[in-house]
Amino acid sequence: MNFAATMLVLAILALGCRAATADPRPAPAGPTSSPGTSLAPDSSGTTALAAAVPTASATASAAAAPPSTSTAVDVVPLQAGRIAAGYQHTCAALRDGTVACWGSGDMGQTGDDGGADRALPAEVQGLDDVEALAAGADFTCALRSTGRVLCWGANTDETLGGGTRAEVSRPVRVVDLDDAVAIAAGSSHACAVRRGGSVVCWGHNEDGQLGDGTRAGRRTPVGVVGLDDAVAVTGGYNFSCATRADRTVACWGDNRWGQLGTGTTTASSRPVAVPGLQDVVAVSAGAVHACALLADGSVACWGINEEGQLGRGSITPEGEPGHPDPALVVGLPDVVAVGGSDGFTCAIARAGDLWCWGRNNAGQTGDPSSGATATPVRYPDLRAVSAFSGHGLHGCAIVLDGTARCWGINDYGQLGNGEVGLEGEAPFTVIGFDLDG
């Protein structure tokens, strides 16, 4: 196959993770916070983007949900996990199992030996059976059809799981992990769900985000305490969450802004249940907030809200406490997937429209007329979206025809439009990208 510059990766079953300031690793005390209201049961959520398989039983229940104006097919088939945005890079997995990346390559995160920045997609060598991707701040991981996981890029915090701290620009195998069914990346850590429902994590662990009951970093995967029924996992800046088989959610790690959803700001190095969340389909972590997609098509979010990323209709003043209790996002249509990012959140509506809310300093929500927005707005000029992933100050989506669109900041070529610095809220077509190769 001629891979010149074509690629894209499933819109994740768990996603998210990312720093909320211009620094890829901002101090958690600096990120924005958000207040909370309580939520009625029935919720679900993802990382790059949590996706739910559309079912006839899913019905919109968000307050004042506006009708979709998409001209796309009734339900757009989702491409969960096919695209993953890092802080300043993006990677995608094609249907033939190959992977392409673009953007910043200074830490090897694009899989390029030269470490050069790329404004166009380039193939990552040695991969031909990838089923899903996850991107941290400056590293990338791939789930192979065999259940093995490979990672590449920055390794200062032992994020590659290979047993060393060596930085590598070519995929290396994560040690003792050959039965993974789902993966996720936080800012400087990564996690995987194993066959059977247990979860392992590796990398940075200052706030207990690995879930092993300690705060010691790990070069190789370590088991998350007390989880044996997980179906998906997602990573935030310094915390993680898992969707369980009974459709509840457990989270662990940093909780200064209420991002564990427990009603308190007490951190935990072991999984703790998110009270009141039931019927959860998927969960997605942003930098210091998280959102759950519910079986009825509604979305509930919790954590920091200084940019309106919780979608509650208000923005919490900087420095005030976050919202540790999940509450429903207002004004959303029927949703089938949700993805948290750095200060903003996006959701795919059943008809294929993309709705976003929160931080908008680089056009992340697609609204050129405003700054941060506390309620969802339909992203203009995007239809038939089948996957989404956001990180840093940019977002990317795959659409029904197999092409990709990216928007936001483009200082390292992370939009894939062929020109560093060409950026904005209007989605750019990733040049040479085709999901089918």
Tens-digit pLDDT profile for residues 138-196: 999 999 999 999 999 999 899 999 998 888 899 999 999 999 999 999 999 999 999 99
- From residue 141, alpha-carbon distances to 92, 145, 178, 232 in Å are 11, 13, 14, 16
| Half-sphere exposure at residue 117, Cβ-oriented, CA atoms within 13 angstroms | 17
Any residues with CB less than 8 A from the CB of 318 and at least 6 apart, and which? 32, 33, 306
pLDDT given at position 72: 32
Instruction: Give the single-character DSSP code of 10.
Output: B
Cα–Cα distance for residue pair 289/295, rounded to 1 Å: 20
pLDDT given at position 7: 32
Identify the CA nearest to 8 among candidates 123, 92, 90, 120.
92
pLDDT given at position 75: 55
Instruction: Give the single-character DSSP code of 306.
Output: T
365/167: higher pLDDT: 365
pLDDT of residue 56 exceeding 90: no
pLDDT of residue 32 exceeding 80: no
pLDDT of residue 57 exceeding 70: no
Tens-digit pLDDT profile for residues 89-117: 999 999 999 999 999 999 999 998 778 89
pLDDT of residue 71 exceeding 60: no
pLDDT given at position 51: 53
For the chain, the structural domain boundaries read: 50-429
Using DSSP, how many helices (H) and how many strands (E) does the chain show?
0, 29
pLDDT given at position 367: 79
**DSSP per residue, 240-289:** EEEEETTS-EEEEE--TTSTT-SSS---EEEEEE-TT--SEEEEEE-SSE
Tell me whether strands 323-328 and 299-303 are parallel, antiparallel or unpaired: antiparallel
Q: Taking the alpha carbons of 190, 9, 429, 333 in that order, is the dihedral positive or negative?
A: negative
User: Could you tell me how far CA 279 lies from the centroid of its own chain?
Assistant: 20
CB 380 within 8 A of CB 369: no
pLDDT of residue 25 exceeding 80: no
pLDDT of residue 238 exceeding 60: yes
Residue 262 pLDDT class (50, 70, 90 cuts): very high
Q: End-to-end CA distance of the chain, in Å?
A: 7
192/436: higher pLDDT: 192
Cα–Cα distance for residue pair 9/130, rounded to 1 Å: 9
pLDDT given at position 78: 83
pLDDT given at position 399: 95
pLDDT given at position 364: 92
pLDDT given at position 349: 96
pLDDT given at position 197: 98
CB 277 within 8 A of CB 43: yes
pLDDT given at position 50: 58
pLDDT given at position 15: 34
**Mean pLDDT along residues 385-398:** 96
Cα–Cα distance for residue pair 161/218, rounded to 1 Å: 8
Any residues with CB less than 8 A from the CB of 2 and at least 6 apart, and which? 437
CB 190 within 8 A of CB 161: yes
**Rounded to 5 degrees, what are φ and ψ at 143?**
-100, 120
Identify the CA nearest to 287 among candidates 9, 13, 8, 25.
25
pLDDT of residue 377 exceeding 50: yes
Q: Please give the structure tokens belonging to residue 5.
A: 């510059």
**Mean pLDDT along residues 228-247:** 98
* CATH fold of 50-429: Methylamine Dehydrogenase; Chain H (2.130.10)
274/48: higher pLDDT: 274
Tens-digit pLDDT profile for residues 307-358: 999 999 999 999 899 999 999 999 999 999 999 999 999 999 999 999 999 9
Rounded to the nearest integer, the mean pLDDT of the chain is: 84
Tens-digit pLDDT profile for residues 281-321: 999 999 999 999 999 999 999 999 999 999 999 999 998 99
pLDDT given at position 408: 94
**Mean pLDDT along residues 378-403:** 94
pLDDT given at position 125: 94
